Amino acid sequence: MNLVLNNPEHQIIDENEIIVFPKRNFIEANTTEVSLNHLKNECTIPVFAKDNECTISHYEFINSVQEVVEDILDYKGILKPDICVSHVIKGRIPTAIGKPAKELLEHEKTIYYERCMFLIEVPEISEVINGNKLNLTIGGVRSYNQENLFSKKSMEKFKIFIGFQNVVCTNLCISTDGLKEDLRVSSIMELKAKIYELINNYKKREHLLNMVKMFQYSLTEIQFAHLIGKMKLYPYLSKDEKQKLFPLAINDTQLNIVVRDYHTDANFCKSNDSTINFWNLYNLFTEANKSTYIDSNLERNVNAYGFIQNLLNSIENQIPNYFLH
């Protein structure tokens, strides 16, 4: 498959030409936006049932990341986290036992959220790619459904990431080395140490160069249709066939969103000659990923990045690729 090589000279442009649109949520799948103050003062904290030991709360998790970022960057401003939660767990205080739910007063209700995802943008650290401003972003995910809360206190699971957020569309751009998806700790001190480790090991320059490279190649409409067709065939391949290919995480519903947005997206649709560069294609994938639940959002985001890198590697090194040929 012959692909169009774009002119890379204008991949990074003057800041006066940056495209900026109204703020949108970074995830849109069955979530509610809340404040850090709400999590701190209005939510109960789950415990391990057999020893009544506290879990690390969503507030403590977010606050730990915020403190680490402020320390590493020597940040003097105010970093405000964007927080989305889902799967509310409702309860009530002891004096409200037996009272019908519709008669409960606000102070008699208790809640906490099973799942939480957040990010902290650092707008002072930004880059511009193809007219899109990208802000450095650090965040994480916590899902209490992945803990055995009916047992004694044990290692708790978290996901933390560092990457960039596209200001145009709030799509997250996360590389493989920017995500720790199975982080297990037993204390806040351990958690902070792991956050320091992730930030210090993140290869920012390499990540940015790889994203710039996406702008250099394009697919024609026929090639795009071929790619989508092969991606739709992938789930039905045999196990042996799949083991030889890049492991796709995108589902059929999200692929349909990609196809729709190829024609209609205001920021990343096809060009006038119906070609689409890999930067726009990548953003169509990450845009579709916003419909993914909190539990698997980060993994699918990284999978989209890895998939695009796999395609570009095949093109640059002229390696046969199932999805392109």
The 10s digit of each residue's pLDDT in 113-157 is: 999 999 999 988 999 988 899 999 999 999 999 999 989 999 999
Q: Is the pLDDT of residue 324 over 60?
A: yes
- Same domain? For 196 and 62 the reply is yes
**What pLDDT was estimated at residue 135?**
94
How many separate domains does the chain show?
A: 2
Where does a domain end: 203, 220, 238? 203
**What pLDDT was estimated at residue 287?**
95
Q: Is 26 helix (H, G, I), strand (E, B) or coil?
A: coil
**Can you give the residue range of the structural domain that contains 177?**
17-203
**Which residue from 217, 148, 238 is spatially nearest to 184, judged by alpha carbons?**
148
- Same domain? For 258 and 301 the reply is yes
Q: Is the pLDDT of residue 2 over 50?
A: no
- Same domain? For 89 and 219 the reply is no
Residue 323 within a domain: no
Q: Is the pLDDT of residue 198 over 60?
A: yes
Q: What's the pLDDT tens digit per position in 100-123?
A: 988 888 888 999 999 999 999 998
Residue 257 within a domain: yes
- Same domain? For 56 and 103 the reply is yes
Length of the chain: 325
DSSP at 267? T
- Same domain? For 92 and 236 the reply is no
Rounded Cα distance between 243 and 221, Å, is 28
Query: Across residues 176-185, what is the average pLDDT?
Result: 93
Q: Is the pLDDT of residue 26 over 60?
A: yes
Query: What band does 23 get if pLDDT is binned at 50, 70 and 90?
Result: low
Q: What's the pLDDT tens digit per position in 30-59?
A: 889 999 999 999 999 999 999 999 999 999
Q: Is the pLDDT of residue 244 over 90?
A: yes
Q: Is the pLDDT of residue 17 over 50?
A: no
Residue 30 within a domain: yes
Instruction: Tell me the percentage of the chain whose pLDDT exceeds 70.
Output: 93
Cβ–Cβ < 8 Å for 268, 308: no
Query: What band does 20 get if pLDDT is binned at 50, 70 and 90?
Result: very low
Residue 279 within a domain: yes
Q: Is the pLDDT of residue 5 over 60?
A: no
Number of Cβ atoms within 10 Å of the Cβ of 169: 20
Query: Across residues 211-217, what is the average pLDDT?
Result: 94
Q: Is the pLDDT of residue 10 over 80?
A: no
Q: Is the pLDDT of residue 263 over 60?
A: yes
- Same domain? For 230 and 272 the reply is yes
**What pLDDT was estimated at residue 251?**
94
Q: Tell me if the pTM is above 0.85.
A: yes
Query: What band does 21 get if pLDDT is binned at 50, 70 and 90?
Result: very low
Rounded Cα distance between 56 and 37, Å, is 16
Cβ–Cβ < 8 Å for 30, 148: no
Q: Is 97 helix (H, G, I), strand (E, B) or coil?
A: coil
**Which residue from 280, 232, 194, 296 is spatially nearest to 19, judged by alpha carbons?**
280
Cβ–Cβ < 8 Å for 301, 290: no
Is the model more confident about 16 or about 278?
Answer: 278
Paired sense of beta strands 47-48 and 53-54, if any: antiparallel
Half-sphere exposure of 56 (CA within 13 A, CB side): 25
Calculate ∠ Cα 282-136-19, nearest 5°.
Answer: 60
Q: Where in 4-93 does DSSP place strands (E)?
A: 4-5, 32-34, 47-48, 53-54, 82-92
DSSP at 44? -
Q: Is the pLDDT of residue 24 over 90?
A: no
Q: Is the pLDDT of residue 245 over 60?
A: yes
- Same domain? For 212 and 278 the reply is yes
- Same domain? For 169 and 260 the reply is no
Rounded Cα distance between 195 and 118, Å, is 14
Query: Across residues 269-280, what is the average pLDDT?
Result: 96
- Same domain? For 188 and 40 the reply is yes
Where does a domain end: 203, 231, 253? 203
Rounded Cα distance between 168 and 123, Å, is 13
Rounded Cα distance between 286 and 28, Å, is 12
